[in-house]
Amino acid sequence: MRSDPELFLSSKQVEELARTFKALSDPTRIRILCLLSAKEHAVGQIADALGLSQSAVSHQLALLRNLRLVKYRREGQTYRYSCDDHHVISLLQQAIRHTEHR
């Protein structure tokens, strides 16, 4: 193991990192983040695109919002979601490229 100072993380950093990777380990959340990385969508649009119920999508979005991975804005009665952390999207894109590398 390298001994670079930047590799020594606080307990808080380790916990936050683990929560982020846990969020990224769920196929539905990965699909939602990939969809939102292109443009913002309303809950119903996400549900339709992924073939899920609005309730299931809302549940996943709440988790992603609590981790500050997505954000929303209100447009009348509609909530439109978009990515809130482009570092995580970059990480996700790198992981996708990794799966394609053979």
- Residue 8's pLDDT band, with cuts at 50, 70 and 90, is confident
Tokens of 3: 């001994």
Residues 36-87 have pLDDT tens digits of 999 999 999 999 999 999 999 999 999 999 999 999 999 999 999 999 988 9
Residue 17: Cβ-neighbour burial (10 angstroms; 0-12, 13-18, 19+): exposed
Q: Among candidates 85, 92, 84, which has minimal Cα distance to 31?
A: 92
Q: What tens digit of pLDDT does each residue of 84-102 get?
A: 988 999 998 999 899 998 7
Q: Where are the alpha helices (DSSP H) in the chain?
A: 11-24, 27-38, 43-50, 54-66, 86-100
Q: Which residue has the tokens 């992603």?
A: 64
- What was the pLDDT predicted at 101? 83
Task: Answer yes or no: CATH 1.10.10.10 is held by domain 14-100.
Answer: yes
